[in-house]
Structure 1
Amino acid sequence: MTSEITLFVNPTAGRGRGAHAAQPAASALRAAGFSVRTVLGEDADDALCRAREAVRGGTGALITVGGDGMVNLALQAVAGTRTPLGVVAAGTGNDFARALGLPIRDPARAGELAAQALKGAHIRDIDLGRVGDRWFATVLASGFDSKVNDRGNRMRWPNGRFKYDLAMLAELAAFRPVPYKITLDDGETREIEATLIAVGNASSYGGGMRICADADLTDGLFDVTVVGDCSRTTLVKVFPRVYRGTHLTHPVVTTHRVASITLAADGITGYADGERLGPLPLTAECVRAAVRVLAPVPAPGRKAVNTGLQ
């Protein structure tokens, strides 16, 4: 493996934390004997082009410095190749780093762990989701949560996560269950009304909301969480349980474990890794061992969950 490593940096991630995180991560890698090249890019398209050039050029690893959006961009360059992906978590959500058991907002330690992995300690193959030619690592969101994203992205004020808190309150006031048609990998199409449907390759989104709490990055399957038709009052009561993953036992929640799923609903946008995919219908497939990562994959610690749509 070449000793040249590429840092793929989003300087604006986490209100500027990305720019500050790059230097200690690079210093840790250089101290371990690696040569470090930094890729920024003028915009997302330019950054992705440069990342792909680095992968084609044989870089020893592509290490993202930023949040889940930067990870998602990097996946488009490394998925399906033998170039490993590292993560220096410096964003707002950092759910992918959390799923891999990597440090959050400790760039020096993240750089040290990446260096150790490159020297043979922890390089693992994990699954990814794919929608068309787009890859994702954590959760594909649709329904109430994606409507919150839509509204938050339209808001110019305030900045940061508070914007999405306000967007959630506004969407809650306008809340109506969504009529879905879903097709699981058994080929049968079902029509249901649901508050949201989340398709998890990893367990969490939104900065630690464990919507698909039992998802396993190495089993070749998605964990799908369906929050059914429920009142605003029930939704408000269930919502805090998402951070602990205990919502899965609530009567309005059903779960499935599938290799692929098609979601269709009028007026609903799909988001994956917090990034906009586009309007439904969308078909997602879980691709086993689609990317190499510089991190140990923690044991999933599965729980028994209820299955079947109602």
Structure 2
Amino acid sequence: MRQFTAVVNPSAGGAGSAAALIPLAGLLREAGAGLEVEYSRSLGHARELALGAAGQSRIVLGVGGDGLTGRVVGALAGTGAVGGIVPAGRGNDFARAVGLPGEPARLAELLLHGEPKATDVIEVESAVHDRMPVLGSVYAGVDALANRHANHSRLLRGAASYYAGGLRAVMSWRPAGYRVTVDGTVHHRRGFTVVVANSGYYGFGRRIAPTAAVNDGLLDVVIIHQASRLLFFAVMNELRSGGHVHRRQVETLRGREVRIECDRDLPYGADGEVEATLPVTARVLPGALNLLS
């Protein structure tokens, strides 16, 4: 029977992450599986716990949102270890992309009896991040700025902080000049954002890259060109269906390695974590992660 180690960050997911694990833990243990729970102090500590459990040949479960699960499960890339995700965050965008069930009984069945699938991972490299694994996407522009505002909000929490942060970022936005290099080919653009996607979803279920697949060995690059704020809000609304890609102001590219540079200091985000500034390089690690999905 399988042996699991679940890594939870109580400070990131609050009581919600631990609560999401309780019914699943009961089902796993009732089936005879072993389950240990580790509480991390930070994303870095979560990564250490994941690697430690993997070294004991245990299946590692990341319990939380995209940031925590990306750091926990992403740490297993290239190790041969097996990982799983227990969605317990605000967005759960990567879990959505790989079709993970939300019901505890169905998720338990998958974790107990499912076969690991070879899954692509993004490797992020910058002045701050040295080959950091990311599961979903890297984005640099008004979206990263909105995320930064939300994360530093003292008055608002949850979805409200992101709506307020997004409005503040858009209203204060000025055109950014990007240099986007995709597999050696340079593209100069002015726009609102550049998104490098492994997963098709980001930002609470928005289909930023509808054709992205986590097992094709490629990254989808979505560039939203500079336009009026009114048109930008229309594009943002179309992210729910993925229809934005049909607009002439939206450009899509594909490649294995993408470098994003800008003509001014601009933050980039990676699965909801924004603590760094461009330039950044993202490259795909094809099939590097064994994921129960």
* Both proteins in one fold, TM over 0.5: yes
Q: Distance in 2 between matches of 1:79 and 1:267?
A: 30
Question: Residue in 1 aligned with 2:39?
Answer: 40
Instruction: Give the Å deviation of 1:277.
Output: 5.6
Match of 1:130 among 123, 136, 146: 123
Q: TM-score, normalised by structure 1?
A: 0.88
Instruction: Verify the 8 A CA contact 2:78 2:288 in the aligned structure 1.
Output: yes
Q: Distance in 2 between matches of 1:3 and 1:137?
A: 24
The reply on whether 1:284 has 2:277 as its aligned counterpart is no
Secondary structure at the residue paired with 1:152? helix
Count matched residues. Answer: 287
Secondary structure at the residue paired with 1:113? helix
Instruction: Give the Å deviation of 1:171.
Output: 1.6
Percent same amino acid at aligned positions?
Answer: 32
Instruction: Give the Å deviation of 1:103.
Output: 2.0
Question: Residue in 1 aligned with 2:223?
Answer: 226
Instruction: Give the Å deviation of 1:224.
Output: 0.6
CA displacement 1:102-135 (0-9 Å, x = unmatched):
123x334322321121xxxx32001111013101
- Larger relative strand fraction: 2
Instruction: Give the Å deviation of 1:88.
Output: 1.1
Secondary structure at the residue paired with 2:209? coil
Q: Which residue type is aligned with residue 55 of structure 1?
A: A
Question: Residue in 2 aligned with 1:81?
Answer: 79
Instruction: Give the Å deviation of 1:11.
Output: 3.1
The reply on whether 1:192 has 2:185 as its aligned counterpart is no
Question: Residue in 2 aligned with 1:158?
Answer: 156
Q: Distance in 1 between matches of 2:60 and 2:105?
A: 16
Q: Which residue type is aligned with residue 4 of structure 1?
A: Q
Which runs of structure 2 are paired with 1:60-75 in the superposition (5 Å)?
Answer: 61-75=59-73
Instruction: Give the Å deviation of 1:25.
Output: 1.3
Instruction: Verify the 8 A CA contact 1:75 1:136 in the aligned structure 2.
Output: no
Q: Distance in 2 between matches of 1:242 and 1:290?
A: 29
Change (3 A) 1:69 1:62: same
Question: Residue in 2 aligned with 1:299?
Answer: none
Q: Distance in 1 between matches of 2:238 and 2:187?
A: 27
CA displacement 1:27-78 (0-9 Å, x = unmatched):
121222211111112333333222221111221x101111111111213431
Which runs of structure 2 are paired with 1:243-282 in the superposition (5 Å)?
Answer: 243-265=240-262, 266-276=264-274, 278-282=276-280
Instruction: Verify the 8 A CA contact 1:24 1:111 in the aligned structure 2.
Output: no
Instruction: Give the Å deviation of 1:188.
Output: 2.9
Query: 143-152 or 69-78: which moved more?
Result: 69-78
The reply on whether 1:142 has 2:112 as its aligned counterpart is no
Question: Residue in 2 aligned with 1:306?
Answer: none
The reply on whether 1:26 has 2:8 as its aligned counterpart is no
Secondary structure at the residue paired with 2:173? coil
Q: Distance in 1 between matches of 2:41 and 2:66?
A: 19
